[in-house]
Structure 1
Amino acid sequence: MPGDERESLDRLRGLQRDAETGGPLRLLGRIAAEIDGHAALFDRNGAPLTPHRGLPDAITGTVRRVRSGGTRSAVEHDGQHQLAAFALSTEPDAPTLALAGPSLDRFTAEPGRTDALRLLALSWRAHHAQERWRRADEAGDQVREAVLHLLIDGGLATAHRTAGALGEPLPDPMRVWVVEVGALERGERDAVAEELLRITGDRAWMIKCPVYSGHLIPAVPPMSHEEERACAAELVATATASTGRISVGISNVLPLRDYAVAYQQAFHALAHARGNAERFATFGRGHDLAAEIAGPGQRWARQVLAGLEEFTPQRPQDPTREELQGTLTSWLMFHQQAARHLKIHRNTLQARLHKIGALLDRDLHRLHDQACVDLALRLRNSGAPEGSGADDLDALLRSDAVRRWAAQLLAPLRESPRLRETVRAWLLADTHLTESAEALGLSTTAVRKRLARAEQLLERSLLHSPSLSYDLHFAFRALNPLG
């Protein structure tokens, strides 16, 4: 093979390699190096689509003449620079390649120019298609996140209509899974999502958690116990092999209207799954404090929430009652992560919490007040009819049913007084590690390790929100009031 043909073939192979590995930007870099100058792509309006630093201002005129003059190319000299512009294809929206450099003849000679333009056009088309798919995926993720907000806030009918826009009906009843991906790269979480869809036969309604970037929180139609365990085990095995360590928490079967409860159950199960050999766990059945006092507690709950439920904004720019209620729900569930969940600035979050606290006469940064408001919301959302009950919380907690509930909740800590005292000190310190460590005379690391051990015994989340801290607060108070 003659030397010039071999050189041409080597150049073409290099262009193909660049197109496959680096896309249009890598190709532009190679072309710029060939002409000892600069290369960039411009859109149909003459605006740059890629970095264009180094190109002279006069290049915009050359590009404009190609776009409007009915010609596919233009090679000019403005007195200081050699300039060139080439239409990548005849499509109206196809970009224009702009060049400036002292060695333009290396590019303009045939057949090298045609090869480069053809590869650049194909590479740009592929890149453009990928970008459109990416934007479509992001739009789909945003719709699914909107459905998540609606489900957590109780907007079931709107959630069904919104999900219907994607052509994927929400499962009802369902289990919520929380899948924690050890690697936080977007592509790896997406790969686990695809694997979960495959394993469940495309039955999972997938949501990517807006709060914890490594979490997936799909709603999955109920399966048999054996099928569910098989799916979870296969997901852990296949995903761990390709992306690293993952863990899976699974809720009980619940109606879709109880999605928020199911999510918290799955989150608690995830805390247990992190420490077991299988790396997956289903929420252990247990009594709910709100269920124990559902009827008698309605009067107390109504009084706790009255200030917020009766609120009417005085100015158009003030947050609505619904916005404040959504903020409160998110804060009680996610705490400082609520700003990320709600897509608002942390200063906006704090301003709303201050407003809500004033309406409720509560300090929403103190555990006791958080627990009371959370319990009141759970009671109001239970839909239980109001029965004869007390206005005083301690009177509600003194019932035999609540004391049995508390004893059952704390039973796993009975054999470890040290862990029980650590949990109690942590609650007394409003779940602040530093203050609880000072009270116990330990390091924060030691307290964290003890709480992680308590998570495994209780099979509930303590260190991350949603946390069991509210129920633990009431359990200790029912058996031996915190002081």
Structure 2
Amino acid sequence: MPGDERESLDRLRALQRDAETGGPQRLLDRIAEEIDGHAALFTPDGTPLTPHRELPGSLAETARRLRGGEARSVVEHDGAHRVAAFALSAEPDAPTLALAGPSLDRFTTEPARTDALRLLALSWRAHHAHERWRRADEAGDQVREAVLHLLIDGALPAAHRTAGALGDPLPDPMRVWVVEIGALERGDRDAVADRLVHLTGGRAWMIKCPVYSGHLIPAVPPMDHERERACLAELVATATESTGRISVGISNVLPLRDYAVGYQQAFHALAHARGNAERFATFGRGHDLAAEIAGAGQRWARQVLAGLEEFSPQRPQDPTREELRGTLTSWLMFHQQAARHLKIHRNTLQARLHKIGALLDRDLHRLHDQACVDLALRLRNSGAADASAEADLDALLRAEAVRRWAAQLLDPLRASPRLRETVRAWLLADARLPETAEALGLSTTAVRKRLVRAEQLLERSLLHSPSLSYDLHLAFRALNPLG
């Protein structure tokens, strides 16, 4: 093979490697090196596709002149250098390649120009298609996240309408799964989500958690028990060195309107799943305190929430009652992560919490007030009110049914007085580890280990929100007042 042909073939191979490994930008860098100058792509309106790089103004001008005429290429002089522009293709949205440098002839000769332009055009099309797919995928994720907010807020008709825009109906009834992916490598969550959809026969309505970046929280139609276990076993077995361990918490079968309850159940089950051999667990044991005092607690709940329910913003820029209620719900569920959940600045979150606290006359950073407001929100739409019931929390907690609920909830800790006392001290310290450690004379690490052990016994989450801390606080109060 003649030397010129061998050199041309080597150059073509190098261009192909650049296109495969670095896309259009790596090809542009190689071309710029060849001509000892600059190479850039410009959109049809003259905007450089690499705006962070400093480029001679003559490049954009030449690219615009090419777009203004009918020629497919332009070669001009710009002082001591030559400037050239080439259309990558006849497609209206295809970019223009503009070059400037003292060695421009190295590019403009055949077949150097033809090979480079063909590969650059193919690389750009592939990159452009990938970007369009990525943007479409991100838009789909945003719609699904909007459905998550609607479901948590109880706006079921709006959730159905929004989900309908994706052509993917929401399952009703369903189980909520919380799938935790141990590692956070880019793309791992997408890969596990695709695997889960495949394993469930396309029936999982997938949502990527906006709070915990390693979590998926799909709504899954109920399955036959054996099929569900096989699906879960295969899912956790897909864990790799890249993804890390996969754990799954599963809620009870619930109507779609109870998605928020299902999410909390699945989150609690996940705490248990992390420590068992199967790496998955279904929510079990226990009853809902709100269900035990549904009618009797309505009057008390209305009294607790009155300030917020009667609120009307005075200025157009003030948050509405619904926004404040959504902020309160998110705070009680996720605490500091609520800003991420709501897509607001943490200063905005704190300002809203200050406003809500003033309306309710509560300190929303104290566990007792958090537990009271959380229970009141759960009771808000729980059924017909008993007008004769007392509007007093302690009176409600003294009811025999509530005391049975509390005893059942705390029963797993009965055999371990040390763990029970640790949990009680943690609640008295507003669920703060340093203060708990100081009160018990232990290290923070020791307290954390005890609470992780308590999570396994209670089969509930304590250290991560949503946490069992509110119900535990009320259970201890029902059996033996705290503090």
Task: Give TM class, smaller chain.
Answer: over 0.9
How far did residue 292 of structure 1 move?
1.0
Task: Name the counterpart of 2:70.
Answer: 70
The corresponding residue for 2:355 is 355
Provide the residue aligned with 2:373 in structure 1. Answer: 373
Q: 1:223 to 1:262 in 2, by over 3 A?
A: same
Tell me the C-alpha RMSD between the 2 structures.
1.2
Secondary structure of the equivalent of 1:159? helix
Contact 2:297 2:385 in 1 (8 A): no
Rounded to whole Å, the distance in 1 between the matches of 2:185 and 2:242 is 13
Q: Distance in 2 between matches of 1:375 and 1:81?
A: 75
Alignment match, 1:420: 420
- What is the rounded CA distance, in whole Å, between the counterparts of 1:20 and 1:471 in structure 2? 56
Q: 1:76-475 residue pairs with structure 2 within 5 A?
A: 76-240=76-240, 243-386=243-386, 388-475=388-475
Query: 2:70, 2:414 → 1: CA distance?
Result: 85
**2:38 match:** 38
CA distance in structure 2 between the partners assigned to 1:414 and 1:116 by the alignment: 75
Aligned residue identity for 2:289: L
Q: Is this contact kept in 1: 2:295–2:382, CA < 8 A? A: no
Superposed displacement of residue 165, structure 1: 0.7
Q: For 2:396, give the aligned amino acid.
A: L
Bigger shift: residues 71-80 or 336-345: 71-80
The CA deviation at 1:81 is 2.3
Inter-partner Cα distance in structure 1 for 2:266 and 2:297: 26
Residues in 2 aligned to 1:378 and 1:344: alpha-carbon distance in whole angstroms: 24
SS in 2 for 1:44: coil
In 1, are the aligned partners of 2:35 and 2:106 still within 8 Å (CA)? yes
Unaligned runs of 5+ in 2: none
Decide whether the 8 Å contact of 1:82 with 1:101 is kept in 2: yes
SS at match of 2:452: helix
Partners of 2:391 and 2:60 in 1: how far apart? 76
Residue 423 (structure 1) shift: 0.6
- 384 and 175 in structure 1: CA distance in 2 versus 1, 3 angstrom threshold: farther
Identity of aligned residues (%): 87
Q: Once structures 1 and 2 are overlaid, which stretch shifts more, 70-79 or 202-211? A: 70-79
Task: Report the TM-score, using the length of structure 2 for normalisation.
Answer: 0.98
* Structure 1 residues 54 and 82: alpha-carbon distance in aligned structure 2, compared to 1, 3 A threshold: farther
The residue type equivalent to 2:391 in the other structure is D
CA contact (8 A) 2:37 2:101 kept: yes
CA distance in 2, matches of 1:421, 1:296: 31
CA-CA distance at 1:185 after TM superposition: 2.8
Q: Over residues 37-70 of structure 1, what are the superposed CA-to-partner deviations in whole Å (9 max), with x where a residue is unaligned?
A: 2211011111101257353222222112211121
CA apart distance, 1:243: 2.4
Q: Deviations over 1:356-406 (max 9, x none)?
A: 111111111100000000001111132344353221111111111111111
CA deviation map 1:156-192 (0-9, x unaligned): 0100011011101100000000001112134110000
Partner amino acid for 2:9? Answer: L
CA contact (8 A) 2:183 2:242 kept: no
* Residues 74 and 84 in structure 2, CA contact (< 8 A), matched pair in contact too: yes
Deviation at 1:111, TM superposition (A): 1.0
Q: Which moved more, 1:299-308 or 1:191-200?
A: 299-308
Paired residue type of 1:43: T
Deviation at 1:6, TM superposition (A): 1.2
Contact (CA 8 Å) 1:40, 1:51: kept in 2 or not? no
C-alpha distance in structure 2 between counterparts of 1:428 and 1:223, whole Å: 42
* Alpha-carbon shift at residue 242 of structure 1 (Å): 5.9
Relative to the length of structure 1, the TM-score reads 0.98
| Counterpart amino acid of residue 93 in structure 1 | D
Q: 1:346 to 1:52 in 2, by over 3 A?
A: closer
The alignment status of 1:482 with 2:482, answered yes or no, reads: yes
Aligned partners of 1:39 and 1:52 also within 8 Å: no
CA distance, structure 1, for counterparts of residue 438 and residue 335 of structure 2: 23
| Deviates most, 280-289 or 202-211 | 280-289
Query: Contact 2:184–2:243 at 8 Å: present in 1 too?
Result: no
- Gaps (5+ residues) in structure 1? none
